[in-house]
């Protein structure tokens, strides 16, 4: 068994390859982190107005938001990325006149733009479900106490909705991390792009193993951090009602013992 391990480990882990090209993998990982973080932050900022428009009673706003969400959730992300990256070249004169060609000619900005529009659609639906989970009675009670709309949202609606949305938003972040590998198809040298470049020079398949491990470590780190945040913000739900928990044994001690019935 030891002999087989000594034979297998060098095949899976080529330390000479890591010594030569490891810096490229780290550079690609840094690009991936930047693309994902910028896209998710911008998508989060764009998702809330879309969510509010989706919940609006105005048919024009709700219809436009529904069309946006339906398109970006119902079409492949790769197709959307192609529409942005290759479609921009088809309208280059118009973009040049608008002064936007400097933005759309770079694969880096095109990936951020496409990922932002895509994740905003998903995050808006997560927010809509989280906001809808807050009982209407609590909003009415806050308004009856004299709180305005912003104060009601800040003190009543948003804290409860955030607790509901933490896990789905974390899942969306992990999905964007894995989907960011599509950026390599449009020549961006992110983690997957650098991996493809290294493989084209070495033809060593183990570089894809290192790439997969880096993605795994990244997603696992995100999962653990979000689990900690969720536990930290839901302690009041996990511990139950401490007043009731402390009152129960005291009441039991204070209660008089029931006398035995005396025979007639």
**In whole angstroms, what is the distance from residue 116 CA to residue 42 CA?**
6
Q: What is the pLDDT of residue 249?
A: 45
Q: What is the pLDDT of residue 98?
A: 92
> What are 157-212's pLDDT values in tens digits?
888 888 889 999 999 999 999 999 999 999 999 999 999 999 999 898 899 999 99
Mean pLDDT of 54-80: 95
What's the whole-model pTM score?
0.82
Q: What is the pLDDT of residue 149?
A: 80
Model confidence at 244, pLDDT cuts 50, 70, 90, reads very low
Of the chain, the percentage scoring pLDDT greater than 70 comes to: 84
Q: 254 pLDDT exceeds 50? A: no
Whole-number mean pLDDT of the chain?
86
For 207, residues 6+ apart whose C-beta sits below 8 A from its C-beta are: 17, 21, 25, 195, 198, 199
Architecture of domain 40-188: Orthogonal Bundle (1.10)
Q: 253 pLDDT exceeds 60? A: no
Of the chain, the percentage scoring pLDDT greater than 90 comes to: 61
How many residues are given for the chain? 264
Kindly list the domain boundaries of the chain, sorted by start residue: 40-188
Q: What is the pLDDT of residue 136?
A: 85
Q: What is the pLDDT of residue 123?
A: 96
Q: What is the pLDDT of residue 65?
A: 96
> What are 115-137's pLDDT values in tens digits?
999 999 999 999 999 998 888 88
């Amino acid at each position: 068994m030891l002999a087989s391990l000594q034979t297998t480990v060098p095949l899976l882990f080529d330390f000479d390859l890591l010594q030569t090209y490891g810096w490229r993998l780290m550079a690609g990982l840094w690009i991936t982190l930047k693309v994902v973080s910028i896209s998710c932050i911008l998508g989060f900022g764009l998702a809330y107005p879309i969510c509010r428009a989706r919940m609006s009673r105005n048919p024009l706003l709700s219809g436009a938001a529904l069309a946006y969400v339906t398109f970006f959730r119902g079409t492949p992300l790769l197709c959307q990325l192609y529409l942005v990256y290759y479609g921009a070249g088809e309208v280059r004169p118009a973009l040049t006149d608008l002064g936007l060609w400097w933005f759309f000619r770079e694969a880096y900005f095109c990936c951020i733009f496409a990922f932002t529009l895509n994740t905003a659609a998903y995050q808006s639906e997560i927010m809509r479900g989280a906001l809808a989970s807050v009982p209407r009675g609590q909003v009415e009670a806050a308004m009856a106490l004299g709180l305005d709309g912003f104060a009601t949202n800040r003190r009543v609606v948003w804290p409860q909705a955030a607790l509901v949305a933490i896990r789905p938003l974390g899942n969306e972040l992990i999905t964007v991390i894995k989907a960011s590998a599509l950026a390599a198809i449009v020549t961006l040298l992110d983690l997957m792009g650098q991996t493809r470049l290294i493989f084209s020079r070495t033809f060593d398949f183990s570089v894809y193993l290192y790439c997969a491990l880096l993605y795994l470590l990244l997603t696992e780190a995100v999962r653990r951090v979000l689990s900690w945040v969720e536990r930290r913000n839901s302690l009041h739900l996990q511990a139950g009602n401490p007043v009731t928990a402390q009152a129960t044994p005291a009441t039991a001690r204070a209660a008089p013992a029931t006398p035995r019935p005396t025979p007639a």
